[in-house]
Amino acid sequence: MFESVLVANRGEIAVRVFRTARRLGLRTVAVHTAGDTFHTAHADEAVEIPSYLSIEAVLDAARASGASAIHPGYGFLAENTAFARACEDAAVVFVGPPASAIDAMGDKIRAKRTVAAAGVPVVPGRDEAGLSDEELEAAALEVGLPVLLKPSAGGGGKGMRLVRTAEELPEAIASARREARTSFGDDTLLAERFVENPRHIEIQVFADAHGNAVHLGERECSLQRRHQKILEEAPSPLLSPEARARMGESAVAAARAVGYVGAGTVEYIVSADRPDEYFFMEMNTRLQVEHPVTELVTGLDLVELQLRAASGEPLPFGQRDVELNGHAVEARVYAEDPARGFLPTGGRVLALSSGSDARVDSGIEIGTVVGGSFDPMLSKVIAWAPDRAAALTGLDRALSAYDLLGVTTNVAFLRRLLSEPSVASGDLDTGLVERSLDALTDGLRDVPDEVLAAAALERMLSLETGDADPWAIPDGWRPGRPAWTPWLITPAGSDPVEVRVQGRASAAQVIVGEGEPVRASLRSDGSELVLIYGGRTIRFSCARDDSTLWLGRGGRTWALAEHERAESTGVSAVTGDGVLRSPMPGTVLAVKAAEGDEVEEGQPLVVVEAMKMEHTVTAPRAGVVTSLPVRTGSQVALDEVLAVIESED
């Protein structure tokens, strides 16, 4: 085997590859951009580069560090044919398939034709290259609605649009092309018939340079939102052993059709109503994000197999030797706010703890600043158990113990998803999450009274234990009966709530909003608050970021603004009627109006992109655009004014 490996990636996948490479005795080299250095601590050497997408910079780093091999991880250059060829030209081992295989499978149109010739079933559709918008619209109608528009040059759900009516086609095509061009540099689209009640099942394949190829079973990836996977598991609760064998043989045939070497995944769409009917979707010519579930049920280290295959070693086992043991489930932790339509979030990680024996592949640490420059996935939590029910329970327990303060995440949403009856029973399809969104997100923005009480008492406690003048402590003391001290607590994204406290943090009565007095006390060790509230003992993890207090419990987190004593019991709020504000930090992709234009309520005005996700901001009212301070390409902050609409009256 080669002596050293450079990982041309970042975050959790870079750390994952380093872990195996170092176990095998290889020298490890990291590349990183300015300020993005979390993963470099896990490598023997690090080289700064201007961009993870720069082929020249990555190869220069390999030369400078003496790395004899490059592992691309996933994303960035992992499925870039030019990069694989450049490695070959530079006499650097590319830990992945031959460039010809990436080329054949990287273009969905060619991939479908290639595997169909090998006898692999494909979804009916139109995949001619170079279709104009009008030709693509006609092709979609010919295939038959509902239809799925997909970019030919990439995956991961980027640029995909489900279209159910002919009226939706023009805007869907324009939007899909724009996102495909931004994500992959190629806006070629294809149209496929959308299979109703579809399940997304993929087969992990492995091949060496000696003609050996096997499959390692399947992964169920049907729990998705906007074509982005959320939960993955192995094996699928749908497939029988016979169906698994058939799909596995089909996947191996697809890999052999392109002379594949290394780890790859053949993705299928399977009808939930007819599990024996499956169609090829695409082949990912790299390691998958969800590979840990396969590792846990097979006992194999897929990164080690990649490194050995790339060094020319034959596979050390055959198909008969592959056994699936138990069940594994993975949850992806994203920097997003499900309560606000899954808009991307950001911030600095103030506290981080997994607190369980589940596997956690993480790309962050305390102090990491999460911005909008990279994919919003922060980490993966993976649980294994002898059976599926126990694995789901283990994953829920692990998520309840996953504490991340400083960045809003989807952990509470993931726990709700795991509790869905259809998930527990294995009755899945790719539309389940979207159909259940209202129930899954209902109440996620609600802030329990005990959280607000803890926030007010934490402020009291900080004053009592600090250097403040004891006469200045707002405990309500006065000759005679103690007074109530009002505080304003402002949860992120919500209106201020008045919390009144009588007494000290160690022994108080608290009134939240218009509620009744509740006996309460609070103590703290700096990283944990213990609240006794109405006889209940409640523990919160806690951290402070300037004027914001973060509290966490059971997978939920709350960001509460600096506590300020109210001078009166009244709380006023100012509305921004007619003012469009950016729902997330990002880049303006399109401006669809101009100052002076008359617009209708709900009319799309500005398209903002962050973390590879588009969000269209619409007019909140009918009227005239009187201010439009942004332009295409502008960088905007959260809540920055995008436009002002004044009514014609």
- Contact (CB, 8 A) for 248 and 203: yes
Across the chain, what does the average pLDDT equal?
90
CA–CA separation, 382 and 327 (whole Å):
11
Which alpha helices (H) appear in 68-192, and where do they start and end? 81-89, 99-106, 108-117, 133-143, 169-184
Check residue 482 and report its DSSP letter.
P
CA–CA separation, 261 and 206 (whole Å):
7
**Percent of all residues in the chain with a pLDDT value above 70, rounded to a whole number:** 94
Fold held by 198-441? D-amino Acid Aminotransferase; Chain A, domain 1 (3.30.470)
β-pair partners for 511: 500
Domain 124-193 has CATH 1.20.1730.10: no
**Helix, strand or coil for residue 635?**
strand
What is the secondary structure of 230-291 as a DSSP string? EEEEES-SS--HHHHHHHHHHHHHHHHHTT--EEEEEEEEEESS-TT-EEEEEEE-S--TTH
- Contact (CB, 8 A) for 361 and 287: no
Lowest mean pLDDT among 114-128, 157-171, 202-216: 114-128
How many CA atoms does the CB half-sphere of 445 hold within 13 Å?
13
Lowest mean pLDDT among 45-49, 318-322, 453-457, 464-468: 464-468
Is pLDDT above 60 for 471?
Answer: no
Lowest mean pLDDT among 72-76, 108-112, 526-530: 108-112
Is pLDDT above 70 for 38?
Answer: yes
385: part of which helix (H) or strand (E)? Answer: strand 377-385
Which residue ranges make up each domain of the chain? 4-95, 124-193, 198-441, 449-565, 579-646
The CATH number fitting domain 449-565, selected from 3.40.50.150, 3.40.50.2020, 2.40.10.480, 3.30.700.30: 3.30.700.30
Lowest mean pLDDT among 25-39, 242-256, 600-614: 600-614
How many CA atoms does the CB half-sphere of 96 hold within 13 Å?
32
**Helix, strand or coil for residue 140?**
helix
- Contact (CB, 8 A) for 73 and 361: no
20: part of which helix (H) or strand (E)? Answer: helix 11-23
Which alpha helices (H) appear in 404-495, and where do they start and end? 411-419, 421-425, 432-435, 437-441, 449-465
Which pLDDT band holds residue 108 (cuts at 50, 70, 90)?
Answer: confident
Record the tokens describing residue 485, joined without a space. 């001290």
User: CB count, 10 Å around CB of 265?
Assistant: 25
Task: Say yes or no: do domains 124-193 and 449-565 share a fold.
Answer: no
Give me the residue label for tokens 């006992």: 299
The stretch 585-601 carries a mean pLDDT of 87
Q: Exposure pattern of 397-426 as b/e (b: 16+ CB <10 Å)?
A: bbbbbbbbbbbbbbbbbbbbbbebeebeee
Fold held by 4-95? Rossmann fold (3.40.50)
Q: At what angle do helices 302-310 and 11-23 cross, to 10 degrees?
A: 70
Looking at residue 574, what is its pLDDT? 29
Check residue 550 and report its DSSP letter.
E
CATH number assigned to the domain covering 579-646: 2.40.50.100
CA–CA separation, 220 and 247 (whole Å):
13
pTM: 0.80
The stretch 110-134 carries a mean pLDDT of 88
The stretch 470-475 carries a mean pLDDT of 54
Looking at residue 314, what is its pLDDT? 97
Backbone angles phi, psi at 638, to 5 degrees: -55, 130
Burial (CB count <10 Å: 0-12, 13-18, 19+), residue 293: buried
Looking at residue 371, what is its pLDDT? 84
The stretch 95-99 carries a mean pLDDT of 97
Looking at residue 196, what is its pLDDT? 81
Looking at residue 384, what is its pLDDT? 98
Lowest mean pLDDT among 434-443, 493-502, 567-576: 567-576
User: CB count, 10 Å around CB of 510?
Assistant: 30
Give counts: helices (H), strands (E), the chain: 16, 40
For the segment 541-557, what is each residue's pLDDT rounded down to a tens digit? 999 987 789 999 999 99
Give me the residue label for tokens 């726990």: 415
Show Cβ contacts of residue 605 under 8 Å, excluding neighbours closer than 6 positions.
580, 591, 592, 593, 599, 617, 618, 619, 625, 642, 643
Record the tokens describing residue 484, joined without a space. 């109530």
